[in-house]
Amino acid sequence: MNTYKVYLAPMDGVTDPPFRKILCRHGGYDISFTEFLRVTDVPILEKAILRDVPELRFGGKTEDGTPIRVQLLGDHPGAMAATAVAAVKLGAQSIDINFGCPSRFVHHSGSMLLAEPELLHTIVSTVRDHLPAEIPLSVKIRSGFADKKEAPDIVKAIAIPGVSEIIMHCRTRKELYKRDCIDWTVLEPFSAEYPDINFVANGEINSLSDAVACEAQSHCTTFMTGRGAIAIANLGYVIKEKGLPYDTVKTLNVLLEIMNEFVEMDAEPRIVLNRAKQFLGYARKANHELAEFFCVFCRSEDLNNSFKLTEKFLTRIGK
């Protein structure tokens, strides 16, 4: 067993409460991040926070005991701070600020703000000043807005006393999610320069070998994984305990859990199927045995039929 820690990344439209519940049940993650809560110029109401983060009703943890970190996205320092305080009042154990989302639909927030280090500093400082001292605050960024040479100024702007972790997606906003643009070496100098802050590597951490390579290049031993965590449902355990990735049978049983979870929530059949296909779309990239089943499953437009297809395939391969 190594000393690695692995966090489940926030993924807008993916890691909602039911997905977090299932992925944390299997993944072995040290912390799970919420999808970002979009803060405008007014704080988010408590009932809206609880709607998006129902785990706050249960001590700020998932069913299996994984701590939840509430992530906020916005450009208004006061409203961000007030929302963070409200989340803590409701039971949040820690807060994260999102300066990493590259979506063009996020207006003047997320990684758009990386071009404005002074505003980054103001937001982080304001949130930190309003939070209780014992509540950890982390900040998620990218390695730059347009160029990784911007990283030192970005980190300097947010590395204030009271920030416990900086999570860097090691691509610039301009590079989006291009695999060949990943550069873990950008993180390498910061741990020595800011010894009181834990630096977390994010981006293309999809296997144990990726984590080992990332550590060698970045000196990080804490990693955040997003798409890889869906492709391999037990990825946290794979990285931390050198376990084997889930095989086809175990992956399809996770699929059934996801479908049943949404059914129990009274989700529309269309939504259940869309989320199941979303999961399979990632899983087939890590397990080529799922390619044939994925094609068959995606043609199904009937929920009951999709359950039957899954059970039939499991029986065929030796459930």
CA distances from 87 to 37, 96, 156 (A): 11, 11, 27
Q: Return d(Cα 36, Cα 52) in angstroms, integer.
A: 9
Token pair recorded at residue 211: 């984590």
DSSP structure string for 210-221 = HHHHHHHHH---
Sequence spans of domains, the chain: 5-241, 248-317
Q: Pick the catalytic residue from 24, 101, 170, 220.
A: 101
pLDDT per position as a tens digit, 223-268: 999 999 999 999 999 999 999 999 999 999 999 999 999 999 999 9
Return the minimum-mean-pLDDT range out of 100-114, 217-231, 289-303.
100-114
Overall fold of domain 5-241: TIM Barrel (3.20.20)
Helix (H, G, I), strand (E, B) or coil at 75: coil
Average pLDDT of the residues in 271-287: 96
Could you tell me the pLDDT band of residue 219, with boundaries at 50, 70 and 90? Answer: very high
pLDDT at 108: 84
Backbone angles phi, psi at 12, to 5 degrees: -60, 130
Neighbours of 104 (CB within 10 A): 7
Q: Name the average pLDDT for the chain.
A: 95
- On whether the CB atoms of residues 96 and 33 are closer than 8 A, the answer is yes
Helix (H, G, I), strand (E, B) or coil at 200: strand
Q: Return d(Cα 99, Cα 139) in angstroms, integer.
A: 7
Q: Return d(Cα 222, Cα 18) in angstroms, integer.
A: 25
Cα 89-94-95 angle, rounded to 5 deg: 90
Is the confidence at residue 10, as pLDDT, over 90? yes
Q: Return d(Cα 28, Cα 6) in angstroms, integer.
A: 8
DSSP assignment, residue 54? G
Check if 101 is active-site.
Answer: yes
Is the confidence at residue 319, as pLDDT, over 80? no
